[in-house]
């Protein structure tokens, strides 16, 4: 049976095995998917051992995405742009293919909730790895403009400059944001510590959709704030998690699984 694994440190919280097992049942794929805690200095040796034992692919979580980027023999355009890899595929000739499916997971979830991206103004809060990984897939949907804002304007500017040839993108300081963004995406982990981004409430209140990349059993503080300010559509990152897994599954197995039932079952568990 084909072997797959998700690795990270920590890893106990990962829901990827549950998601991929449901995908496998749904699509009648014969595969085994486990999770594995890997010591911080053992990433490369684990990959070599798993590949040598016949493993077909790996998902990569914190803190190994940059190391996965470095060991890949070939990179997809979105992995190259993200500077990080969350999906490794091991080919029969020994080649390691690196990809990043996080941004596709985000975009797919937004579209699945009947939110149009094409022609819309998007505000992306944060300029870290999570933001970087979703910029190219977002620009591929042809928004009218993608604005990046961050506590450090310099980091936002570096990111917008890096992607300036890929589409309409700009960096704007937190205190200079407009009140006309259609979609606002919080790529920071601030909600995990119950903190809100330092953005004027008028910027949030005029949005049609607010998206928080993190998720919890309860509504995140960012989405609760958006609800109080009257934002009609509010989405957390659970759909992104399932969506990025579906894209990894497609890369490995050549079939795209349906995500609705898997997302619903996962939502009921948290």
- Distance from CA of residue 94 to its chain's centroid? 27
Catalytic pick among 35, 65, 116, 164: 65
C-alpha 159/C-alpha 162 separation (Å) is 5
Length of the chain: 270
Q: With contact defined as beta carbons under 8 Å apart, do 256 and 227 qualify? A: no
CA dihedral 209, 211, 215, 221 (to 10 degrees): -70
Q: With contact defined as beta carbons under 8 Å apart, do 18 and 257 qualify? A: no
Q: Is 53 helix (H, G, I), strand (E, B) or coil?
A: coil
Cα radius of gyration (the chain): 18
193: exposed, middle or buried (Cβ count in 10 Å: 0-12, 13-18, 19+): exposed
Tokens of 222: 């960012």
35 is catalytic: no
Enumerate the active-site residues.
Answer: 65
């Amino acid at each position: 049976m084909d072997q797959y694994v998700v690795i990270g440190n920590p890893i106990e919280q990962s829901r990827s095995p549950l998601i991929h097992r449901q995908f496998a049942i749904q699509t009648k794929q014969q595969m085994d998917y486990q999770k594995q805690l890997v010591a911080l200095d053992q990433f490369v040796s684990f990959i070599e051992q798993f590949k040598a034992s016949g493993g077909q692919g790996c998902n990569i979580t914190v803190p190994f995405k940059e190391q996965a980027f470095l060991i890949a023999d070939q990179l997809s355009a979105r992995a190259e742009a993200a500077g990080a890899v969350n999906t490794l595929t091991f080919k029969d000739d020994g080649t390691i293919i690196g990809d990043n499916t996080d941004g596709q997971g985000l975009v797919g979830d937004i579209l699945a909730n009947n939110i149009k991206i094409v022609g819309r103004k998007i505000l992306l809060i944060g300029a870290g790895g999570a933001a970087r990984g979703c910029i190219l897939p977002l620009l591929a949907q042809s928004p009218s403009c993608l604005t990046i804002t961050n506590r450090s304007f310099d980091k936002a500017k570096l990111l917008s400059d890096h992607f300036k040839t890929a589409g309409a993108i700009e960096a704007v300081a937190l205190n200079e944001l407009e009140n006309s963004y259609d979609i606002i995406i919080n790529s920071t982990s601030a909600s995990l510590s119950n903190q809100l981004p330092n953005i004027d409430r008028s910027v949030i209140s005029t949005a049609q959709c607010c998206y928080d990349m993190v998720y919890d059993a309860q509504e995140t503080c960012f989405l609760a704030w958006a609800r109080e300010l009257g934002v009609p559509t509010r989405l957390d990152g659970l759909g992104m998690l399932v969506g990025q897994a579906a894209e990894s599954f497609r890369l490995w197995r050549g079939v795209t699984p349906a995500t609705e039932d898997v997302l619903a079952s996962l939502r009921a568990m948290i």
